[in-house]
Amino acid sequence: MAADLKHSSARAVYVISVAAELAGVHPQTLRIYERKGLLDPARTGGGSRRYSERDIERLRRIQDLTTAGLNLEGVRRVMYLEDEVTRLQRELARVKQEASEAVERTHRQYRRDLVPVSNTPAPWQPGR
């Protein structure tokens, strides 16, 4: 057995040669990426790198960006900014959702105050 690494199904871990093959690059390239701060794979007690599924995804993204002509510092910044954009998009969607819910809640509150719940064929007309 491979010593001191947990092998839970969600946390698959590859050695550098397999990770390199999965991304279609030279193993040495992965070491360069790590040195430049683009990846931070786990390490075994003996010092060997172990790449998670997330590392592989990130590795593929790095490949896309370098293929598009960016150098490694550019890749670093672009990946950070892309994370920032998706974070903001999610927050924007959340705020919009909560906003409409807040208005709806306010409506319902006044409805409850104005109209007996047991007796409402056409309770209230906005413009009349």
Partner DNA sequence: GTGACCTTAACGACGCGTAATTGTGG
Partner DNA sequence: GCCACAATTACGCGTCGTTAAGGTCA
Q: Rounded to whole angstroms, how far apart are CA atoms 50 and 30?
A: 11
Residue closer to a second copy (CB basis): 16 or 72: 72
Contact 60, 23 (CB under 8 A): yes
Q: Verify binding: residue 68, a second copy, rule CB under 8 A.
A: yes
Binding letters toward DNA, positions 80-109, x by CB under 7 A: ------------------------------
Taking the complex as a whole, how short is the minimal distance between the CB of residue 96 and a second copy, in angstroms? 6
Among residues 21, 40, 53, 73, the one that binds a second copy under rule CB under 8 A: 73
Please state, in angstroms and as integers, the Cα–Cα distance from residue 15 to each residue in 3, 11, 27, 50, 51, following that order: 14, 13, 10, 5, 6
